[in-house]
Structure 1
Amino acid sequence: MASQLKDAYGFALLATGEDQRLLQASWAAAKKRADSWSAVSKQLRSTSSSCSDTASGPDQRRSLALKPLVRRGIPFELRPTQWFQLSGAAARQAAAGSGYYDKLSGINGLPVNMLLQVSEDLSPGIFQFRIHPLFKKQEGMDAVRRILCGYLQHNPAGYFRGLAHIAGFLLIVMGLDSEQQAFWTLAALLEDKLFPYCSGQGAYGIKVELRVLDTLVAKKLPKVASHLAKLETNSTAVTPSWLSSLFTTTLPAEVTARIFDCLLLEGSKVLQRVGLALLKHYETSICAASHPAQLRKVLDSRAARLYDAESLLNTAFKGVGAMPTAVIAGVRSAAAAAVDAQMEEQRRRLELIVCRTH
């Protein structure tokens, strides 16, 4: 029999007995991790000044030293400050100077089409986090709207469908009183960690990463790729929101937070590893599906109740094989070329339609 629980971030959970066991084990492990992090905050503060003249975040040597610790999970109470530091957001805020966010966070200066996009993405039918206590209050909705409007003025090319959920999740984890820190963490995440190769162009970057995932599925999970081909679909068609929302609408919040721990330190390769791990985790179900719509429904349902972060991340970092940076760069370059070709073809078709109408 299922019973009602709430996770550490205030989301209601409908958990069965086995789900509760996994949740309790996860919470116990999180308490143990707190001791390992007792000196980390001091270390980050003492070294952050050495990289404060750039927006690139922690230097490579410090990142390598922290990687094993971060992969084991940042304690709940330390996440707001650690995400702000590890992502490079603190350095970005310092470089921008005081008052920068306040100037951006209003709606003045935003084109009407962008204002309409923000309003649509925060509407009840689309913004799934409206069920969260933070966004049942007007002050929560106002804060996430300010972050989105601010980011659109900071980086007009950075908007994409799913951004509202990412901003909302950062605000849930970091807290309403850390609105400005959440904004800078969003900027660092998108521009330094996920899409530095395309200057933070979010919609373009997501298209590229989706193609990268599909290529990696063919290489790493041939059974999955083969069955998807039989269904005349591919991995990104049955998992459309995984990467575009950075798993915030796919997995339980506490598992997503563990992914963000790694993502904010290590960058976009984490997205690919987690995507592969999820597909590997559900390989049997995928290969048993007879229709893409059925498969998508099954994946959404099962992922929403995947509470075992340890198992998922162990598969992501140890169970999908090596992913050398040079190899991923080559795959990404080919994916970007394919996206460019597709966009050019769409442009030509549109021009042809316009010419015919005249």
Structure 2
Amino acid sequence: MAKSMGRPLGRTSSASPTSTVFLPRHVMSVEYHPRDKYGFKKKTTEVTVEQYDRWYDKYEGYVKRRTKKWEALMKKHDCSMDDPCRFPERNDTVKRYARKGYPPQWRGAMWWYYSGGQMTLGQKTGVYDALLMRCKLGELNETDRELIERDLHRTFPDNIHFKPDEVKTPDNLIGATTEEPDMIRSLRNVLQVFAMNNPSIGYCQSLNFIAGLLLLFLKQDEERVFILMEIITHHHLPGAHARSLMNVDVGALMMLVQEYLPTVWNSINDIDIINSGAGSSAHPASKHARLPSVNIACTSWFMSLFIGTLPIETVLRVWDAFLYEGPKALFRYALAIFKTGEAQIRRCPADSPELFQIVQNLPRKCLDPNELYKIAFARRPFGNLNQGIIDSKRAFWKEEILKQREEHAKLAEGQKDGLLAVQTEQVEGEKENGGLKRKMSRRFLKRSASKKNLKV
């Protein structure tokens, strides 16, 4: 009689429907979560496991059909399908195929190929290894090092490659693992090297998620991940991750909403309310650079490239288009998200506290990438939107932000000079009064300085 292997655990997502997985005798239990094929938990705040499974049963057939079309295209262009590193050259057909999604098994290689990764790598040969050595020697500044360490274990805590399931044993009753996952070590290396190579950016939140997703799909090739991060932050989204944050993309998006979705704009536009509200007279010069309040909910869309806001399969489809045709794809998908919530948004007045929550939650419900794709590309509600239009709106907001910063700097300098003048007068007054001192409060000094500025 065969010896028992241990206690039955039950079915897992990787086991066949009729198989049973047995635990070793020293293992008490495993914290089990239904996961997708990438290792992410199926359940999210907006989607149940049952909803995910119902959707994926249909979507899986779509992926298989698209994979066959890609295989036929690869064969037509004499491209190998055995771990390919070359794909059909860019044309309208390939762009249409990219928008409809890459085959999962080739996705990372296709991101690399169509974003020009190999060309950029040729210009930076040996850079990654040299910078990694410097990081190991402790040359990275302490601030960036600490920020990176803080965020490492906050990166994809719902993915098994970044945070393995907890295994409880008699010696480890809480199930916590002491061994650091390989993926976390690779993530640390990439983020440190990137921060070292980009002092004007350093490290900021959201870069950990971008690097993490690239590591998952580029088979933990750290150098290639570093190169793609360079392309994303310098070529596609310049300034979006800089220390002196200049996120012109959200401003550009708000202008596009006004132009392409006027009914949505009329509902979210609370600029007049802000400009006439309490305290609006304090900074009259900044009125020209104000945005609707809901813009804050959209900031992470660009900084994290929709990671953490859209469901993961939809994120991947956005990235397929984005890394093929650039930021134009991000703006089309952002407009499509607003379009999906048009009816909800129109029911709320611009000053409603519910409006922000509605906009924030809209992308989390976009489980089916094909529905969002149809709005962004197939149905053509944004038909003439091209990179030239986007760049012109980016340029407008860059100029506005620089103008606003210059005005704030002048105002701060004026207040400083006024305060210094008041303090000088105070000293002179003390001398005239035979050294008799009278303390002035900070509020009095600032008020006096402001009056002097007004007279000038």
Equivalent of residue 332 in structure 1, options 383, 394, 402: 394
Matched with 1:111 is: 141
Q: Which among 359, 364, 372 is matched to residue 312 of structure 1?
A: 372
Partner SS, residue 129 of structure 1: coil
Tell me which of 164, 170, 174 is aligned to 2:214. Answer: 170
**Bigger Cα displacement from structure 2, 304-313 vs 288-297:** 288-297
Matches within 5 A, 1:151-230: 151-159=194-202, 160-176=204-220, 178-195=221-238, 202=242, 207-230=247-270
- Between Structure 1 and Structure 2, whose CA radius of gyration is higher? 2
Report the residue type matching 2:258 in the other structure: A
- Pairwise CA distance, 1:260: 0.5
The amino acid that maps onto 1:173 is F
SS of the residue corresponding to residue 162 of structure 2 reads: helix
- 1:134 corresponds to which letter in structure 2? H
1:243 CA drift (Å): 1.3
CA distance in 2, matches of 1:238, 1:44: 45
Contact in 2 for aligned 1:208/1:336 (Cα 8 Å): yes
Paired position in structure 2 for 1:55: none
Deviations, residues 36-62 of structure 1 (Å, cap 9, x unaligned):
22254995979xxxxxxxxxxx99x72
1:10 to 39, 48, 72: 39
How many residues in Structure 1 have an aligned counterpart in Structure 2?
A: 336
Report 1:333-348 matches (<5 A): 333-348=395-410
Question: Is the contact made by 1:213 and 1:272 (CA closer than 8 Å) also made in structure 2?
Answer: yes
Are residues 16 and 164 of structure 1, via their aligned partners in 2, closer, same or farther at CA, if it must alter by over 3 Å? closer
Where in structure 2 are there 5+ consecutive unaligned residues?
Answer: 1-12, 14-32, 81-86, 164-179, 275-291, 424-456
Contact 1:239 1:296 in 2 (8 A): no
**What SS does the aligned partner of 1:109 have?**
coil
Amino acid in structure 2 at the alignment position of 1:66: V
Which residue of the partner structure matches residue 135 of structure 1?
A: 162
Q: CA RMSD in A?
A: 3.1
Change (3 A) 1:278 1:132: same
Give the letter for the 2:371 counterpart.
S
Identity of aligned residues (%): 25
Aligned pairs for 1:1-358 (under 5 A) are 5-14=34-43, 15=48, 17-38=50-71, 39-40=73-74, 62=90, 64-97=92-125, 99-105=126-132, 106=135, 108-122=138-152, 127-136=154-163, 137-159=180-202, 160-176=204-220, 178-195=221-238, 202=242, 207-230=247-270, 233-289=292-348, 294-317=354-377, 318-351=380-413, 356=419
Taking structure 1 as reference, are residues 351 and 163 closer, same or farther at Cα in structure 2, changes over 3 Å only?
Answer: farther
Higher alpha-carbon deviation: 326-335 or 66-75: 326-335
Structure-1 separation of matches of 2:222 and 2:352: 39
1-structure distance, mates of 2:254, 2:149: 32
What TM-score, normalized to structure 1? 0.82
Could you tell me the TM-score, scaled by structure 2's length?
0.66
Determine which structure has greater relative contact order: mean sequence separation of CA pairs < 8 Å that are 6+ residues apart, divided by chain length.
Answer: 1
Report the CA distance between 1:150 and its aligned residue. Answer: 1.1
Q: CA deviation at 1:295?
A: 3.2
Shift of 1:203: 5.8
Structure 1: gaps of 5 or more residues: 47-57
Amino acid at match of 1:68: R
The structure with the largest helix share of the pair is 1
Rounded Cα–Cα distance in structure 2 between residues aligned with 1:44 and 1:261: 22
